């Protein structure tokens, strides 16, 4: 049996960040990736927040990365059947370097990160799927991939949201549909100038847009649109539990087609060429759904551990994946120094995570999945907002009511009580 110091399952952000860090520490790291190249199978909406992760990489590391556009403006849109209400926010300081967030395309970004890891000395095997863990006296001793058995002192499970490795190691139970969402996305090519004109952007700047409401038919989720250099990333995220349960049953790709036909979206993508379609699962269970992240000779990082946080206004997973990959590598380095790969020794990873923004943010927003699991956000409020604004802004053929009377006519006691209740619950976030 061929043996390596560390085997990393999955060449996504978590796996590649771990490989890069280990290789720089002189530790032998083999990444096994099932895709043709790192990033070939990876899906994201696509905006990465760099501020939390810069500290985990050498200075200037991300300046050389294939980033698309720094996000300088955000648009939040509540969609009703026949109307929509948008809020646009532009932030001057976001336009100044170091930019807080960038749009990215994973095909390019992961490939670049994979090259950095390889240049640092990590080994990469692509087009190979890890099928199982190898055990020796109850401890993880390696993996099987492509019919071969490969041994390792430590295995890092960085194999994404449906982590086979974490499940085989019994570090987590199979998830419930409610704990996941499915994301589906198109990349639509448009000329650079057209993007800047349509989205009201200065040269090189980028926009992020979120949509919620009738586009998901009252289901948990929403839509997103990010501007890349010469393309748009357009997609939707829908809770798998709601997709299965809510009637009438609709297939996710159909929701995306209807979303694209909405005038608010159709005008933005008009004339663009669809060049890529992808779909992927996203962990949505938050802090309560986290995987146990260490075992005997095994660590779990990124989506595989459940490190993803959807607050409705921000979607974060990529910086958790990068940081947890680096933190896992640091814990492994300490284990190598002690030559002790037991649970006790690798529990250092849990401690380092607790001290980092990864677990701190997951814990701060532990109530998010419960607060957001509220159909009124996805159905009622966008409709209510649309109705109030329509009545306020429509001039009919008769005399007009006072503006205050118009608003109050929509906010009866029951409505008011519902809003207060939802706001009260929202204080937990």
- Site residues, ligand FAD (CB under 6 A): 9-15, 32-35, 41-48, 129-130, 158-160, 164, 183, 185, 235, 237, 280, 282, 302-304, 308, 315-318, 321
Q: Which is nearer to ligand FAD, 47 or 219 (CB)?
A: 47
How far apart are CB 101 and ligand FAD at their closest, in Å? Answer: 9
Cα–Cα distance for residue pair 29/150, rounded to 1 Å = 12
CB of 38 to ligand FAD, least distance (A): 6
The least distance separating ligand FAD from the CB of residue 122, rounded to whole angstroms, comes to 14
Nearest residue (CB) to ligand FAD, 42 versus 214:
42
CB of 71 to ligand FAD, least distance (A): 10
Distance from first CA to last CA of the chain, Å, rounded? 50
- Smallest gap, in angstroms, from Cβ of residue 303 to ligand FAD? 4
Burial class (CB in 10 A: 0-12, 13-18, 19+), 416: exposed
The tokens describing 389, both together, are: 């604004």
How many whole angstroms separate alpha carbon 232 and alpha carbon 212? 18
Q: Counting Cβ atoms within 10 Å, is residue 24 exposed (0-12), middle (13-18) or buried (19+)?
A: middle
User: Residue 147, by phi and psi: left (phi above 0), alpha (psi -120 to 50) or beta?
Assistant: left
Cβ nearer to ligand FAD, comparing 48 with 368: 48
Nearer to ligand FAD, 48 or 80 (CB): 48
DSSP 3-state assignment of 324? helix
Q: Rounded to the nearest whole angstrom, what is the least distance from the CB of residue 356 to ligand FAD in the complex? A: 15
148-157 and 2-9 beta bridge pairing: parallel
Contacts of 380 (CB under 8 A, 6+ apart): 418
Cβ nearer to ligand FAD, comparing 49 with 61: 49
Q: How far is the CB of 57 from ligand FAD (least distance, A)?
A: 15
**25 vs 50: CA distance, rounded Å:** 23
C-alpha torsion sign, points 323, 325, 331, 336: negative
Nearer to ligand FAD, 109 or 381 (CB): 109
Q: Is 177 exposed, middle or buried (0-12, 13-18, 19+ CB in 10 A)?
A: middle
Nearer to ligand FAD, 12 or 241 (CB): 12
Closest CA to 129 of 147, 116, 108: 147
- Distance (Å, whole) CA 235 – CA 67: 19
**Of 187 and 304, which CB lies nearer to ligand FAD in the complex structure?**
304
Nearer to ligand FAD, 2 or 337 (CB): 2
The conformational region for residue 92 under phi > 0 = left, psi -120 to 50 = alpha, else beta, is alpha
The answer to whether 225 and 231 have CB atoms below 8 angstroms apart is no
């Amino acid at each position: 049996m061929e043996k390596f110091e560390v085997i990393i399952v999955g060449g996504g952000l978590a796996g590649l960040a771990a490989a890069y860090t280990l290789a720089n520490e002189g530790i032998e790291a083999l990444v096994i990736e099932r895709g043709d190249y790192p990033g070939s199978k990876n899906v994201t909406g696509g905006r990465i927040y760099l501020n939390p992760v810069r500290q985990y990489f050498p200075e200037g590391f991300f300046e050389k990365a294939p980033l698309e556009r720094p996000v300088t403006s955000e648009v939040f849109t509540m969609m009703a059947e026949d109307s929509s209400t948008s809020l646009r926010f532009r932030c001057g300081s976001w336009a100044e370097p170091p930019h807080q967030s960038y749009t990215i395309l994973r095909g390019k970004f992961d490939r670049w990160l994979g090259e950095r890891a390889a240049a640092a000395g990590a080994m990469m095997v692509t087009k190979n799927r890890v099928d199982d863990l190898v055990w020796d006296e109850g401890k993880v001793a390696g993996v099987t991939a492509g019919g071969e058995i490969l041994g390792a002192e430590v295995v890092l499970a960085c194999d994404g949201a449906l982590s086979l490795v974490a499940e085989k190691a019994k570090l987590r139970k199979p998830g419930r549909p409610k704990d996941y969402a499915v994301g589906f996305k198109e990349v639509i090519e448009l000329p650079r100038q057209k993007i800047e004109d349509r989205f009201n952007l200065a040269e090189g700047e980028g926009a992020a847009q979120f949509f919620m409401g009738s586009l998901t038919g009252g289901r948990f989720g929403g839509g997103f649109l990010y501007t890349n250099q010469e393309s748009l990333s357009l997609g939707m995220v829908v809770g798998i539990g709601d997709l299965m349960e809510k009637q009438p049953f609709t297939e996710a790709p159909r929701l995306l087609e209807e979303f694209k036909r909405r005038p608010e979206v159709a005008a933005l993508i008009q004339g663009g060429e669809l060049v890529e379609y992808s779909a992927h699962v996203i962990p949505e269970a938050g802090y309560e759904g986290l995987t146990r992240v260490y075992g005997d000779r095994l660590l779990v990082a990124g989506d595989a551990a459940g490190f993803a946080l959807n607050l409705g206004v921000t979607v974060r997973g990529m910086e958790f994946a990068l940081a947890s990959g680096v933190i896992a590598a640091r814990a492994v380095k300490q284990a190598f120094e002690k030559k002790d790969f037991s649970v006790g020794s690798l529990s250092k990873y849990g401690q380092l995570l607790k001290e980092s923004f990864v677990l701190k943010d997951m814990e701060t927003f532990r109530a998010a999945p419960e607060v957001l699991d509220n159909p009124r956000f996805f159905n009622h409020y966008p409709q209510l907002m649309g109705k109030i604004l329509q009545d306020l802004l429509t001039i009919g053929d008769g005399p007009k009511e006072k503006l205050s009377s118009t608003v109050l006519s929509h906010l009866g006691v029951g409505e008011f009580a519902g809003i207060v209740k939802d706001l009260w619950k929202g204080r937990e976030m």
